[in-house]
Amino acid sequence: MAEAKTFSRALGREGGWSIEAYLQAGGYRAARKALGEMTPAAVLDEVKKASLRGRGGAGFPAGLKWGFVPAKTDKPKYLCVNADEGEPGTFKDRYILGHDPHLLIEGALIASFAVGIHRAFVYIRGEYENIARRLEAAVAEAVERKFLGPDVFGSGFALDLQVHRGAGSYICGEETALLESLEGKRGHPRLKPPFPASVGLFGAPTVINNVETLANIPGIILHGAAWFTDQGLPTDGGTRLFGVSGAVARPGVYELPVGTPLRDIIFTHAGGMLPGRQLKAVIPGGLSAPVLRADEIDLPMCCDALVRAGSMLGSGAVIVIDDRTPILDVLLRVARFYAHESCGQCTPCRLGTNWIRKVVERMASGGGRPGDIDELARLASGIKGRTLCPMGDAAALPVLGLVQKFRSELEGATCRP
Amino acid sequence: MPTLTIDGRTLSVADGTTVLRAALEAGISIPHLCWHPAFVPEGSCRLCLVEVEGLPKLELACSTIVREGMIVKTATPAVRESRRRVLEFLLAEHPVDCPICDKAGECKLQDYYADYGLTEGVFAEAKERRAKKVVLGERLILDRERCVLCTRCVRFLKDVTGTRELGVFERGVHSEVGILEGKPVATAYAGNLVDLCPVGAITDTAFRHKTRTWFLSARPSVCPLCARGCSIWIDYHPGFPRRPASAGVYRIRPRTDEAVNGPWICDRGRYGYLDLHRRRLPAIFWNRGGQRVEMSREKILTLLGEKVGSLATRHQGKGLGLVLNSNLTVEEFGVVRQTLLPRIPQARVWFADPPHGEDDGFLLRSERTVNRRGASGLGFDLAPLSLEDVARGLTILVVLSPFFGQAAPAAGVEKALASVETKALVSPVETGFEGLFDFVIPSALPSEKGGTFVDFQSRSRTLSPVFPPWGDAWAEGDFLSALAAEISRTS
């Protein structure tokens, strides 16, 4: 399968991330086409037909999400770009933000036009200091050329885009916690319903999209929905940025069509395992995705196939674990991460993740006891599906996956002689 | 009016009702910690998860709005299991120090464990250590180990008082309720946080370590400290009949009354009882030649009745002044109006009430007595006591008010009283002027008598006695009736 070039074309482009280079490469043609030749309804229709699934983690169809925003409302509508990329193993959005910021701006512009939004925010994680500056510079360039502002392209459409930096909390990548944080409050997820499409930022209808999701929009508008689904799958279109990390020869971000087999991503594109290492496990979609064993990787990387395999495509972050890595270490990292990042609002997540951490830390320091594995499974099940926001599942599922699939290895830590 | 089924019972509820409210109204118990009827649902404790037919996951009863035809099940194995797990999580990091906890006996966590939990304690790890005595305000102390982070306290100060002294700090398992440095909880409604706390995390110094809740009995009453007349519970120790009743009071709590005070009371009403028993007048006495002579009811009635009677019926002397206060009951005003005043035609009536304070815009009213409307309803004009009139021409002054002298400088009071031949003070507590009166008669507190108050909304409020009058205390109504009878007898 040929490597597609929606994003990767920007890498190594002459002039880098400047607006001149972007325009040279045909940038902002899609936005001009949308604003000049199309109606908002036509743009929305095209995105719906393209089967663009959200790239942030949940894989929700983007067109459908836009469609939930009420057309008639007396409130302003907002677009929030989720650039909080905090899922462990995920490092794809930073490539778009850092190397092709105008692709995101153009995507946000088209999305805003389609939904009738005049105010957009990019919520970027605090750790991305340099990237945030680069994005701010790109926004300034776009404003200077009247690609953003009160009269975009002279079409009369107005869009104000503002970059907001987070303060480094995983939970602020959860969409409603992101809204709270953006409003200047503590980043606690909100009770849903109401969903952000009806009651979002400052109580107004809000669209929240991942960076990569929006960066796909210009291509869809320019080349059409059919071009997009041709690249990927009819129900899951386009290419994705797979961030491959771990014990592979060539870790990095790979732009590949949705549906590329996981085995090919690891063994063809990422150069296979490091010399002398054997594949033991793969976490296919960021740390929250339940682990796959080495014999489970013959599946296409698309949202539906991974759900069928009991995992999820998530953010497309492929973490490759080799035979030298004890699963207990993986479990310890998982347990510590979620205990550390739980916002503390709801009971099962606040106390459950911490309990799991304590058990795993005890196991890792030689104090494992018979029954600990069952205990972990029981605790994770006590969190799963019962929390206020999806982070409960994000914390519980990887633990369940690891203890179910690597039980015999983990038992080594629970029955010392 | 959507109709839903909860555990096989079909209920019709108002539009917009949540499943939890519908269940509670129907008497179906669903455990909840963070939900409180006065606040919007928070959904954070996760105890109220129930099964809704057709939905894959358990749903929150507190925030799910009833839809037509909804079928809810609150006792399925999945629901029970979920509750057990949530309680297990809460108890894992809880000190479980019920034997020394002031909340024990009325603690939601304790009750829910008994009703829905009963899990074995399998938590084998070290518990988090947290601060046990965080001073939140003048009387409030927070035990962070007991806290279940329901955030009711935080939301009360945000949504009800608007003062926002409390917040949640830190993250995850380290999350903790706290104040900003140097900014303690200063609202006049701080005591409500103790009631709101479903566990023993927030306690007040007034009740802390004083007794066990199961020794207490609660009786309904009405707070007399302002014109609102908040509905209250008086929690008292029924085992100490020989102590002043107010010394047996361990707590005053709001009694939810939507038309009057909702679920709250102010700290004046809550803690006003604290020093009361130390200020009680001990016995009936006669100041004779600078000596206090204790005497019986009969004796004082004879002495006083004779003086009043000779003035009333034989027109000896200048006049009689009767000073009332508007914390007397409607019935007591009735005795004055219908029984006493017809027998003393020359009597002038004044009122000695506390000076008006600030209306705080919430519960506390500027009138600091409860029954001014009850008094005016019986034709009293509530004329404030005039010391000039007292000085100008009275032979007898009978004061029935613990507020006597509050509005005037003490020297003026002394001078005015000096010109009056016979003076009697009837009050439940010391006023500071006992030495200026010939006769001092202890009377009953509002909690020691029955009757009616008419609050500022013109609602009739029934007061039933919580305690018998303590010691020699003589309920004002009984005293006035006896005095009237004595006047009739001697004339």
Q: Token pair for residue B450?
A: 């029955």
Q: How far is A337 from chain B (nearest CA, A)?
A: 11
B146/B180 same-domain check: yes
* Per-residue confidence (pLDDT) for residue B61, from 0 to 100: 97
Q: How far is B111 from chain A (nearest CA, A)?
A: 18
- Which residues, listed in sequence order, are joined to residue A242 by a DSSP beta bridge? A254
Q: Are B205 and B141 in contact (CB under 8 A)?
A: yes
Q: Is B175 on the interface with A (CB under 8 A)?
A: yes
B208/B221 same-domain check: no
Picking from A9, A34, A32, the residue whose alpha carbon sits closest to that of residue A22 is A9
Q: What type of residue sits at position B431?
A: T
Mean pLDDT value across residues B148-156: 97
Domain boundary among B158, B191, B213: B213
* Per-residue confidence (pLDDT) for residue A5, from 0 to 100: 64
* Per-residue confidence (pLDDT) for residue B435, from 0 to 100: 92
B84/B233 same-domain check: no
Instruction: Nearest chain A residue to B82 by CA: give it.
Output: A382
B298/B416 same-domain check: yes
B316: pLDDT strictly greater than 80: no
Task: Give φ, ψ of B460 to 5 degrees.
Answer: -80, 130
CATH assignment at residue B318: 3.40.50.740
* Size of chain A, expressed as the number of residues it contains: 417
Instruction: Nearest chain A residue to B65 by CA: give it.
Output: A193
The model's pLDDT over B231-249, given as tens digits with 9 standing for 90+, comes to 999 998 887 656 666 567 8
Picking from B147, B166, B146, the residue whose alpha carbon sits closest to that of residue B156 is B166
Measure the CA–CA gap between B146 and A81, rounded to whole angstroms.
Answer: 40
Cβ within 8 Å, pair A346-B123: no
Domain boundary among B158, B181, B213: B213
Task: Give φ, ψ of B93 to 5 degrees.
Answer: -100, 15
- Measured at the CA of B21, the angle between CA B15 and CA B24, to 5 degrees, comes to 140
Q: In the 8-state DSSP scheme, what is residue B186? A: -
Strands B71-73 and B49-52: antiparallel
* Per-residue confidence (pLDDT) for residue A1, from 0 to 100: 37
Cβ within 8 Å, pair B173-A385: no
Of B46, B125, B128, the CB nearest to A387: B46
- B78 to A46, B5, B50, B57, B114: CA distances (angstroms): 43, 18, 8, 10, 18
Measure the CA–CA gap between A402 and B8, rounded to whole angstroms.
Answer: 41
How many structural domains are present in chain B?
A: 4
Cβ within 8 Å, pair B90-A347: yes
B195: pLDDT strictly greater than 70: yes
Cβ within 8 Å, pair B46-A347: yes
Give the residue from B47, B50, B89 with the most A CB atoms within 10 Å of its CB, the best one to mutate: B89
B300/B271 same-domain check: no
The model's pLDDT over B383-395, given as tens digits with 9 standing for 90+, comes to 999 888 888 888 9
B475/B341 same-domain check: yes
Of B122, B167, B173, the CB nearest to A339: B173
Cβ within 8 Å, pair A350-B170: no
Q: Are A109 and A138 in contact (CB under 8 A)?
A: no
- Give the structural domain span for B467: 285-490
B474/B336 same-domain check: yes
B74/B102 same-domain check: no
Picking from B239, B231, B226, the residue whose alpha carbon sits closest to that of residue B255 is B231
CATH assignment at residue B206: 3.30.70.20
Measure the CA–CA gap between B112 and B94, rounded to whole angstroms.
Answer: 14
- A411 to A321, A325, A373, A380: CA distances (angstroms): 19, 16, 7, 17
Helix axes A391-405, A327-341, angle to 10 degrees: 170
Give the residue from A347, A354, A374 with the most B CB atoms within 10 Å of its CB, the best one to mutate: A347
Q: How many helices (H) and strands (E) does chain A have?
A: 18, 10
Q: How far is A119 from chain B (nearest CA, A)?
A: 29
Confidence at B318, pLDDT banded by 50, 70, 90 = confident
Measure the CA–CA gap between B312 and A111, rounded to whole angstroms.
Answer: 93
Q: Are B74 and B115 in contact (CB under 8 A)?
A: no
CATH assignment at residue B13: 3.10.20.740
B443/B319 same-domain check: yes
Cβ within 8 Å, pair B148-A347: yes
Give the residue from A386, A387, A389, A391 with the most B CB atoms within 10 Å of its CB, the best one to mutate: A386
Q: In the 8-state DSSP scheme, what is residue B346? A: T
Task: Give φ, ψ of B490 to 5 degrees.
Answer: -80, -15
* Per-residue confidence (pLDDT) for residue A416, from 0 to 100: 58
The number of angstroms, rounded, from the C-alpha of A107 to the middle of its chain's C-alpha atoms is: 16
Claim: this prediction has a pTM higher than 0.90: yes
Measure the CA–CA gap between B139 and B185, rounded to whole angstroms.
Answer: 9
- Which segments in chain A show pLDDT lower than 70? 1-6, 416-417
Map tokens 């010394």 to a residue.
Answer: B247
Where is B387: in which H helix or E strand?
A: helix B387-393
**Structural domains for chain A:** 8-231 (3.40.50.11540), 239-322 (3.10.20.600), 327-411 (1.20.1440.230)
The model's pLDDT over A342-400, given as tens digits with 9 standing for 90+, comes to 999 999 999 999 999 999 999 999 999 999 999 999 999 999 999 999 999 999 999 99
Domain boundary among B227, B259, B279: B279
Measure the CA–CA gap between B482 and B443, rounded to whole angstroms.
Answer: 13
- B248 to A58, B225, B237, B265, B473: CA distances (angstroms): 61, 19, 5, 20, 16
B54/B148 same-domain check: no
B373/B456 same-domain check: yes
Q: Is B258 on the interface with A (CB under 8 A)?
A: no
Q: Are A87 and A173 in contact (CB under 8 A)?
A: yes
Measure the CA–CA gap between B193 and B254, rounded to whole angstroms.
Answer: 12
Residues of B in contact with A362 (CB under 8 A): 125
Map tokens 């009354």 to a residue.
Answer: B257
The model's pLDDT over A280-333, given as tens digits with 9 standing for 90+, comes to 999 999 999 999 999 999 999 999 999 999 999 999 999 999 999 999 999 999
CATH assignment at residue B261: 2.20.25.90
* Per-residue confidence (pLDDT) for residue A39, from 0 to 100: 96
B86/B180 same-domain check: no
